[in-house]
Amino acid sequence: MVAYMPGVEVPVSPDPADALASVVALRRLADRIEDAAVEQAMRAGWNWPQVAEALGVTRQAVHKKHAKRLIAAGVALRRR
């Protein structure tokens, strides 16, 4: 198994403890990036269908996951 960074090949650690911990950390990082990226996109004027399509999920799913947080943060949300 190999993870890629630009121009660098890094083999995932052969130690199962490290490999499993990297799964947990990558999921956490992905969640953080999703929260930040969705907020950034909505602040930039994207609408829910566009964000949903970019993430490869349904509009309902992305709305359910992020709408309350963004409304509370004062982000002006575009439906369409």
Binding site for other proteins (CB under 8 A): 2-5, 8-13, 15, 17-26, 28-29, 31-33, 35-40, 68-70, 72-73, 75
Name which of 30 and 78 has its Cβ closer to other proteins. 30
Residue type, 71: I
Q: How far is the CB of 48 from other proteins (least distance, A)?
A: 17
Instruction: Output 24 or 76, the one with its CB closest to other proteins.
Output: 24
Smallest distance, other proteins to C-beta of residue 34, A? 8
Which alpha helices (DSSP H) does 1-80 contain, by range? 16-43, 48-55, 59-72
Residue 68 C-beta-side C-alpha neighbours within 13 Å: 3
Q: How far is CA 45 from the centre of its chain?
A: 18
SS3 call for 44: coil
Nearest distance from C-beta of residue 54 to other proteins, angstroms: 15
